[in-house]
Amino acid sequence: MPKITYVAHDGARTDVDVTEGENAMHGALFNGVDGIVGECGGALACATCHCYVDESWIAKVGGPSSQEEQDMLGIAAAEVKPNSRLGCQIVISDELDGLVVHTPDRQY
Amino acid sequence: MATVLGTPNSVPDHVPPELVRSIGFMLNPEFLADPYDFFPRLQEEQPPVFYDTDPVMGSGWVTIKHELAFKALRNSENMTIETTSIFPRDPDNYFNLIPQELDPPVHRKFRNVLDPFLSPKAVLQLEKDIRGLANDLIDKFIDKGHCEFTNDFARPLPVTVFLRFMGLPLEMTDTFVKWVVSLISFAERDKAVEIMAEIEEYMSRVIIEKRANPDEGAISRIVHGTIDGEPLNERDIYGFVFFLFIAGIDTVYAALNNTWVWLARNPDRRREMIADPDNIDNQAEELLRIFGVTFSGRTLTSDYELDGITMKKGDRLMALLPACNYDPEVFPNPREVRFDRPRKPILTFTGGVHACMGAHLARLEYKIALQEWLRRIPEFDLAPGTQITYPPSGVIGPAAVPLVW
């Protein structure tokens, strides 16, 4: 199972195994990782699973996958950076084994 | 789903008199004549937060502002979810509506039992079933040239989807329809205790059966689910199953009914939708914004300030979600149905940790209903002489929608 590392705003790291096909938002919620809210459950209807893809993974993960994701990032509570993504739109595959994402200081 | 039936009480001293209103939400003839004119009008006529005295809902703070509603709904520190009294429960054998009536952090653990099966991807497994079902329903009346939409389509569709999702036999459709109609109806309050007992009697047998024979349905997932490695207790299992029953059935029903009235009255917009099938997701989301059907209540567990207004511990606070969806600061020209709006969060499925767990299933049902109906019955109208009326209910939708084509 691919492993994802979530790095909290204060630098705390949590490694979790995430089923292939799941997304980075669920990876956090189902494993008790704080810092991701995922209020709408992945419908591109909020921006509470905002995260920053680690610089070393940007090329592989890519930018926002749709106009809707881009629109939603516009209302994220924390600063939006070039490596900002919505966790629910990052689908985990074997290719992303070892992915590192940073969670912002707030989602509201 | 709707939350409360309260009792009116006098206005507490800490409420500034200039903020007291009586919008008469549930029984006001203006509201009942056309709720979806009433909600945007609130935006035009009322302050962002006011104190409403209401004979049906009880008195409490109300916000109609998108930003303030999200702020309050996302706050678990100063408030707790309001316990509903619509569904009478035996105090000696009580159950919580799960996960709705739980607070963080335990709330998330219960959500995790079913959320994986309600994700956007997971619900797609039901797509073929739902599409087939929508067509089966249409087959029954398409050649007649007319139907009563609420009974012939909007009621059986979500009930049957619910039965499939839960792992219950489809032969139970009529019984479940009867139960839900009786439970939700204001006119049948005296029967609620009896119906609650019938539902529990049936569900208890199902729970025993699922314990012995696990399957892929939600009831079995709950029965065999764990919280911190421990199985759920009996009352929690029942509270979870019962909650799912009331949560998804009447809401989708009402949203469909509201939408079909609009579709019937707006042939040009309907044709615009049909001409642009690839835009169905935005069409559905915009119509779900326009036709929010319920609201979210909280009770303050400590003093709280919202928009500069001091509220006291014990006060009730309601986010009037269908009105919040017409906030012009977020949705300019809010009355206008526009299928090219930039994506913004709608409050139809509420917000915060208690945001609707079935939202993806609801969106899927709604979308498929639109697609299949418009494909097969693109031209239709309200039956001549139809007056659309809205009964007082915690879930807002017309009483009957007779259609002809």
**More confident position, B12 or B82:** B12
End-to-end CA distance of chain B, in Å? 32
Q: List the one residue out of B81, B72, B80, B99 whose CA is nearest residue B324.
A: B72
Which range (B226-235, B240-249, B340-349) has the least confidence?
B240-249
Whether residues B359 and A40 touch (CB distance < 8 A) is answered with yes
**Has residue B354 got a pLDDT over 80?**
yes
Peptide bond between residue B156 and the one before it cis (omega within 30 degrees of 0): no
pLDDT of residue B143: 98
Q: What is the arithmetic mean of pLDDT over B331-349?
A: 96
Q: Is A1 on the interface with B (CB under 8 A)?
A: no
Nearest Cα residue to A44 out of B72, B279, B367, B342: B342
Measure in Å the smallest separation between the Cα of A77 and chain B Cα atoms: 12
Segment B165-175 mean pLDDT: 93
Strands across the sheet containing B49-52:
B20-21, B49-52, B60-63, B316-319, B296-300, B79-81
Residue of B73, B114, B343 for testing the chain A interface, max A β-carbons within 10 Å: B343
**What's the rounded Cα separation, in Å, for the pair B386 and B388?**
6
Among B242, B269, B207, B252, CA closest to B96? B242
Identify the bridge partners of residue A86 per DSSP, sorted by sequence position.
Answer: A50
Mean pLDDT of the B10-18 span: 92
Instruction: Measure Cα distances from B289 to A17, B284, B320 in Å.
Output: 37, 9, 13
Q: For B22-35, what is the mean pLDDT?
A: 87
What pLDDT was estimated at residue B6?
46
Q: What is the pLDDT confidence band of residue B187, given thresholds at 50, 70 and 90?
A: low
pLDDT digits (tens, 9 = 90+) for B281-305: 999 999 999 999 999 999 999 999 9
Question: Do the Cβ atoms of B359 and B349 come closer than 8 Å?
Answer: yes
Checking if the pLDDT of B277 tops 50, the result is yes
- Dihedral sign for Cα atoms in the order A81, A82, A87, A93: negative
**CB B36, CB B291: distance < 8 Å:** yes
In whole angstroms, how far apart are CA B361 and each of B118, B125, B237, B365?
7, 10, 21, 6
Q: How many CB atoms lie within 10 A of CB B150?
A: 20
Residue B2 confidence (pLDDT): 43
CB-based contacts of B261: which residues, under 8 Å, 6+ apart?
Answer: B382, B388, B398, B401
> Which chain A residue has the Cα nearest residue B106?
A32
Between residues 7 and 36 of chain A, which touch chain B (CB distance below 8 Å)?
Answer: 21, 26, 29-30
**Euclidean distance between CA atoms B78 and B134, whole angstroms:** 43
The answer to whether the CB of A29 falls within 8 A of the CB of B108 is: yes
Domain boundaries in chain B?
17-404
pLDDT score at B182: 82
Interface test with B, best of A25, A30, A40, A65 (most B CBs within 10 A): A40
- Mean per-residue pLDDT, B178-197: 81
Residue at token pair 């169905």: B280
Which residues pair with residue B60 across a beta bridge?
B52
CA distances from B132 to B38, B128, B157, B372 (A): 36, 6, 11, 9
pLDDT digits 0-9 by tens, B383-395: 999 999 998 888 8
Q: Say if B226 is an interface residue toward chain A (CB within 8 Å).
A: no
**Facing residue for A39 by CB, picked from B116, B346, B351:** B351
B168 Cβ neighbours under 8 A, 6+ residues apart: B162, B176, B206, B217, B219
**Reported confidence tier of residue B3, pLDDT bands at 50, 70, 90:** very low
Confidence band of B5 (pLDDT split at 50, 70, 90): very low
pLDDT of residue B105: 87
According to DSSP, residue B125 is labeled G
Nearest to B153, CA basis, from B261, B12, B78: B261
**Distance in angstroms (rounded) separating the CA atoms of residues B234 and B226:** 12
**Which chain B residues are closer than 8 Å to A87 by Cβ?**
none
Q: Please tell me the least confidently modeled range out of A6-10, B60-64, B102-106, B369-373.
A: B102-106
Q: What local confidence, expressed as pLDDT, does residue B57 receive?
A: 75
Overall size of chain B counted in residues: 405
For the cut 50, the answer to whether the pLDDT of residue B200 exceeds it is yes
Would an 8 Å CB–CB cutoff place B56 in contact with chain A? no
Domains and CATH numbers, chain A: 3-102 (3.10.20.30)
Cα(B366)–Cα(B36) distance, integer angstroms:
19
Per the structure block, which two tokens stand in for B76? 């678990």
Q: Rounded CA gap, A50 and A45, in Å?
A: 12
Q: Does B115 contact chain A (CB < 8 Å)?
A: yes
HEC assignment per residue over chain A: CCEEEEECCCCCEEEEECCCCCEHHHHHHCCCCCCCCCCCCCCCCCCCCEEEECHHHHHHHCCCCCHHHHHHHCCCCCCCCCCEEEHHHCECCHHHCCEEEECCCCCC
Q: Is the pLDDT of residue B100 over 60?
A: yes
Nearest Cβ partner of A43 from B108, B344, B359?
B359
Closest Cα in chain B, distance from residue A17 (Å): 15
Which of A30, A39, A72 faces B343 most closely, judged by CB atoms?
Answer: A72
Interface of B with A in 331-390 (CB under 8 A): 342-346, 349, 351-353, 355, 357, 359-360, 363
- Average model confidence (pLDDT) across chain B: 92
Instruction: Determine, for residues A40 and B352 on separate chains, whether the beta-carbon distance falls below 8 Å.
Output: no
pLDDT of B403 strictly over 90:
yes
> What are the pLDDT digits (tens) for B246-268?
887 889 999 999 999 999 999 99
Q: What are the tens digits of pLDDT across the range B117-147? A: 999 889 999 999 999 999 999 999 999 999 9
Burial B221-236 (b: 16+ CB within 10 A, else e): bbbebeeeeeebeeeb
Partners of B108 on chain A (C-beta within 8 Å) are 29
Q: Is B177 exposed, middle or buried (0-12, 13-18, 19+ CB in 10 A)?
A: middle
In the predicted model, is pLDDT for residue B280 greater than 80?
yes
Question: Which ranges in B228-327 belong to alpha helices (H)?
Answer: 234-265, 267-274, 280-290, 321-324
Interface predicted TM-score of the whole assembly (ipTM), two decimals: 0.87
How far, in Å, CA of B363 to CA of B369, rounded? 10
> Average pLDDT for residues B346-353, to the nearest whole number?
94
Element containing residue B200 per DSSP (H, E): helix B192-212
Q: Cβ of A40 under 8 Å from any chain B Cβ?
A: yes
At B360-384, the pLDDT tens digits run 999 999 999 999 999 999 999 999 9
B17-404: CATH, from 3.40.30.10, 1.10.630.10, 1.10.1740.10, 3.30.9.10: 1.10.630.10
Can you tell me the mean pLDDT for B8-26? Answer: 86
- B9: pLDDT strictly greater than 60: no
| Residue B4: per-residue pLDDT | 45
- Exposure string (b/e) for B341-377, b if CB count within 10 Å is 16 or more? bebbbbbbbbbbbbbbbbbbbbbbbbbbbbbbbbeeb
Residue B43 has pLDDT above 60, yes or no: yes
B1 band by pLDDT with thresholds 50, 70 and 90: very low
Q: What is the mean pLDDT of each run of 10 residues along chain A (108 residues)?
A: 96 96 95 93 93 97 95 95 97 97 96
Token look-up 């049906």 returns: B56
- Tell me the two tokens of residue B11: 């206005």
Tell me the C-alpha distance between B31 and B208, whole Å.
Answer: 45
C-alpha torsion sign, points A28, B118, A43, B48: negative
